[in-house]
Chains A and B, each alone.
Chain A
């Protein structure tokens, strides 16, 4: 008898999925906190309609993270929603890993088509600006240099926001 051919069930990238999941939680809380304390993010979010839902999602099955504007404030909503007004999709786990760990910035990720957007592009642009600001609050300058086209200066006021976001924002979502 010849060789037998059978279907193959692919394995699971549990480690990368776990990392992506954790980073999305950190990002979500930082976003909620940033929208409260950082004037730039605050200004962007103030232009979004009440009830606006933003999702960051890894195709095809997650992990994912949702943000929702409730009573004028941006809230981290975990995995509560699977669809929103603006959905940023990573094409696969490897794409998400590159962006979330963070090895490449959002501009490069969009240019390389590793991330796609569903929804109004103007909101996607605003969301990307917020994300870029958030990166400067979460990471040191030498990392941001690799991720952003231009690293904005960090005056004392911004530095305080950075401390707040990291000390109480990420752990407690405040």
Chain B
């Protein structure tokens, strides 16, 4: 069934596969620039990925304006403002983000302050606050999870108030995203697992939340199939290039899906646990996904049942009677969760993730004030959130 109305927008050019990264100078040239700043973090440098990026510029006639590789895990408005200074000092004319969601979102923030010619990111918090044309912006993801390379959003910490700020604007989309298997192959198993579950939660929430639509459904459906077939493989054998490429593509597709259909309570709870207890986003997603699917089942049973096909495969789907498919989908998500626990110790519940029980109340309060909750199919008030959190604590 079609929604009575929906919008869909995804203007990012995708380059994917063997030696994709080497097209970076060509793409920059197409965008009319030749002196990009590169925004990254220490983990990415330590994994030896920056050398691929630098090599891509060899014999290109371009100059790397600067490499800022100090983005912290909890990126903040202060870091963004610092990078903007480096950008201006070195006369840069474009931004290239190399990393996971943290450097990518930070780079989006830098693009805001540079393009709006400001020195204070906080002025632009919220939706549709940006008006000026943006700097050319290219993203090279090194995790396969956030999908931030194809989303209109950025989440950045406000250093003064110690809260996460959300930014959303169609101007924040990168121009180009480069998915090169070399860039994700170095991810250690537990980061592969956690970020992969982030991608799965994007796809599944997108397929079941209020603004699902035929276009986002198609992306989400395809992403789930690839994740279910490739995530355990990529965790087990990091050097499996096919599995890595599949995960990178799946994560991008899931990103395109949820950037348009939005996500729901799984993300509302995940953002809150992340902000209060500093546990990685993907880890939180893995814990809340099955619980969120179950919570909304009353309204979404049909959709969750449909997801058994991409998640479990044709045989699993056809042999399962229709009325048991939704429940089976959730069982398979649990199995995947358990599998990842066995492979690399990815926590299955909040207790294993090290969340103190006395924080649950403040997490519940934060969750009901998170914008993504708007798009959840069923109501979740503070009391409901507490019940869910208690369930997630020791499940």
Chain A residues packing against B (C-beta within 8 Å)? 107-108, 110-114, 116-122, 124-126, 128-129, 148-150
The A-contacting residues of B in range 349-377, CB under 8 angstroms, are 368-371, 373-377
B236 contacts chain A at the CB level, 8 A cutoff: no
Least CB separation from A150: chain B residue: B379
Interface pair A149/B369, CB less than 8 Å apart: no
Least CB distance from A125 to B in Å reads 5
User: Residues of B contacting A108 with CB < 8 Å?
Assistant: 210
B127 contacts chain A at the CB level, 8 A cutoff: yes
Interface pair B126/A126, CB less than 8 Å apart: no
Interface pair A107/B210, CB less than 8 Å apart: yes
| Complex Cα–Cα for A129 and B373 (A) | 12
Interface pair A149/B7, CB less than 8 Å apart: no
Least CB distance from B191 to A in Å reads 28
Least CB separation from A119: chain B residue: B126
Q: Pull 13 A–B residue pairs with CB atoms less than 8 Å apart, ordered by A.
A: A107-B374, A108-B210, A111-B210, A112-B3, A112-B5, A116-B127, A120-B125, A124-B371, A125-B368, A128-B374, A129-B368, A148-B379, A149-B378
Interface pair B6/A112, CB less than 8 Å apart: yes
* Residues of B contacting A: mostly: loop
Interface pair B374/A122, CB less than 8 Å apart: no
| Complex Cα–Cα for A148 and B381 (A) | 13
Interface pair A112/B370, CB less than 8 Å apart: no
User: Residues of A contacting B377 with CB < 8 Å?
Assistant: 149
Q: Total A-B pairs in contact (CB under 8 Å)? A: 54
Interface pair B371/A125, CB less than 8 Å apart: yes
B148 contacts chain A at the CB level, 8 A cutoff: no
Interface pair B3/A120, CB less than 8 Å apart: no
Interface pair A117/B127, CB less than 8 Å apart: yes
User: Residues of B contacting A120 with CB < 8 Å?
Assistant: 125-126
Interface pair B378/A150, CB less than 8 Å apart: yes
Interface pair B262/A111, CB less than 8 Å apart: yes
Q: A121-B126, A122-B370, A125-B374 are in contact. List 18 more A-B contacts (CB 8 A).
A: A108-B210, A110-B375, A111-B210, A111-B262, A112-B4, A112-B5, A112-B211, A113-B7, A114-B5, A116-B128, A117-B127, A118-B128, A120-B125, A121-B370, A148-B379, A149-B376, A149-B378, A150-B378
The A-contacting residues of B in range 369-395, CB under 8 angstroms, are 369-371, 373-379
Contact of B375 among A107, A114, A119, A126 (CB under 8 A): A107
B17 contacts chain A at the CB level, 8 A cutoff: no
Least CB separation from B371: chain A residue: A121
Interface pair B374/A110, CB less than 8 Å apart: yes
Least CB separation from A104: chain B residue: B4
| Complex Cα–Cα for A119 and B124 (A) | 9
Least CB distance from A52 to B in Å reads 15
Interface pair B370/A149, CB less than 8 Å apart: no
- Nearest 5 interchain pairs by C-beta: A150-B379, A122-B369, A149-B379, A111-B211, A121-B371
| Complex Cα–Cα for A138 and B374 (A) | 22
Interface pair A117/B370, CB less than 8 Å apart: no
Least CB separation from B260: chain A residue: A113
Least CB distance from A122 to B in Å reads 4
User: Residues of A contacting B6 with CB < 8 Å?
Assistant: 112
User: Residues of A contacting B368 with CB < 8 Å?
Assistant: 125, 129
User: Residues of B contacting A128 with CB < 8 Å?
Assistant: 374
Least CB distance from B385 to A in Å reads 12
The A-contacting residues of B in range 16-75, CB under 8 angstroms, are none
| Complex Cα–Cα for A111 and B372 (A) | 10
| Complex Cα–Cα for A121 and B262 (A) | 15
Least CB distance from A36 to B in Å reads 22
Interface pair A118/B126, CB less than 8 Å apart: yes
| Complex Cα–Cα for A107 and B374 (A) | 6
Interface pair B369/A111, CB less than 8 Å apart: no
Interface pair B211/A118, CB less than 8 Å apart: no
Least CB distance from B209 to A in Å reads 8
Which of A113, A119, A124 is the most central at the interface, judged by chain B CB atoms within 10 Å of its CB?
A: A113
